[in-house]
Structure 1
Amino acid sequence: MKKEITYGVVGLFIGIIIGLIVSPMTLGTRPMSFAGSMNSTVDKHFIEQMIPHHEGAIAMAELALQRSKRPEILSLATNIIEAQQKEIVQMNQWYSNWFSSSIPVHSMGGMVMSGMSMGSEKELEILRNSKDFDLEFIRQMIPHHEMAVVMAEMLETSSNRKEMLNLAKQITISQSQEIETMRGWYTSWSVIK
């Protein structure tokens, strides 16, 4: 599952980069404007993909607030909602300022590509109906966070915008820490079962 996610994200970014390389060459664009264009496109694409990704995590976390009885999960869910809602607001503002538009509606469903549909209605339904909600929540949230970390790490190597680099670093650090915490819970709680 993790390999599929990684390959999907890598393939997506490679496709964008190849398209950016080929397009300016055929149009006779100067290399300097190409570099700026590529970074701008990477930032734009990241925001278009990360917002629906965050929305999927928020939907799962909101469900956790309703279903979980463990204080650890309730605290994690609250943190996910607060942090990712704040990041969504910031990314929407940047997108509007930098690209003079709002995020296209078609981008909001973009995470369905390449096995990246975590937080989808199907996944939420599985989570909603799970007999052991907390373990299923962790089972779904770990790869969801791993995907965000992969996307953020790729952004760190592709963007020139300080704001985007700071966001990428913040996502990588916070979600990596949450992944390790959830893995520990999963191991402990699976044994108790």
Structure 2
Amino acid sequence: MKNQPLLYGIIGLLAGSLLTVLFVTNTVNTNNYGMMQMMGIRQGVNGSPLANNLDQHFIEQMIPHHEGAIEMAKLAQERSKRPEILTLAKAIIQSQSKEITQMQTWYKNWYGTEVPVNSTVGMGMGRGMMHGGMMGGQTSDIESLKNAANFDEAFLQEMIPHHQMAVMMAQMLLSGSNRSEMKQLGQDIIEAQESEIEQMRSWLTEWSL
């Protein structure tokens, strides 16, 4: 019986690990459901997104989200003096403007109408949304960035979670879309914006912001 304490310790460790897995799984599922609700995506009988509905709502949400990033990037071109941020801003404007045009064309071809204007998404999908609920980021205002005393820090702190939200949306697209064009777009968004997130985080550390 002298091994009994060790046995109890192992059992306790396994139980703790199981609880952690259950907690993480529940959190992921909750976040996915919240993302689907935010994007207006219906669920099928088996709980999987309806692919056509997913494509449509992804475009409707991602276009204003891209427009928010472009608006911030244009502001960075006006206010930042760092060449690194100016280069990033130019890349964001070019790549995301191209993707907007691409999505608008697909939407017209697939659904026979222009993309509806959606004012609830865009600049607001930043820090507040990542930290305070799916729609909490609407309190983030472009005006606060315009008036930020330390613009570069404020820009990076806002753009990083903005990119993270785009990555989350693109990951959902990859898991539910049946269109090769949309899957490629999702992959492009993930690769480009994850790289930019890493870059921006390194600048925050390097510049002690």
**Is 1:173 aligned with 2:196?**
no
Q: Which residue of 1 aligns with 2:102?
A: 90
Q: RMSD between aligned alpha carbons?
A: 2.6
Report the counterpart of residue 135 of structure 2 in structure 1: 115
In the alignment, is the contact (CA less than 8 A) between 1:65 and 1:77 conserved in 2? Answer: yes
The secondary structure found in structure 1 opposite 2:205 is helix
Q: 2:178 aligns with which of 129, 145, 160?
A: 160
SS in 2 for 1:157: helix
User: Would you say 1:11 and 2:29 are equivalent positions?
Assistant: no
Q: Give the conservation status (yes or no) of the 8 Å contact 2:42–2:53.
A: no
Contact 2:64 2:119 in 1 (8 A): yes
**Bigger Rg, which one:** 2
Q: How far apart are 1:17 and its partner, in Å?
A: 3.5
Q: TM-score, normalised by structure 2?
A: 0.73
Cα deviations across residues 33-86 of structure 1 (Å, max 9, x unaligned)? xx9x92111000000000000000000000000000000000000000000000
- In the other structure, the counterpart of 1:99 is 111
- After superposition, where does 1:1-193 map in structure 2 within 5 Å? 10-13=33-36, 16-18=41-43, 20-21=44-45, 38-105=50-117, 107-110=118-121, 114-115=134-135, 117=137, 122-190=140-208
Aligned to 2:8: none
Q: Name which structure has the greater RCO, CA cutoff 8 Å, separation 6+.
A: 1
Q: Deviations over 1:82-119 (max 9, x none)?
A: 000000000000000000111122x343456833646x
Secondary structure of 2:178's partner?
A: coil
Q: After the TM superposition, which parts of structure 1 deviate over 3 Å for at least 4 consecutive aligned residues? A: 6-10, 110-113
Q: How many residues align?
A: 170
Q: TM-score, normalised by structure 1?
A: 0.79
Whether the 8 Å CA contact 1:135–1:190 is kept in 2: the answer is no
Compare the two structures and name the one with the higher helix fraction: 1
Unaligned runs of 5+ in 1: 23-34
Note the residue ranges of structure 2 that are not aligned, 5 or more in a row: 1-26
CA contact under 8 A between 1:8 and 1:116: conserved in structure 2?
Answer: no
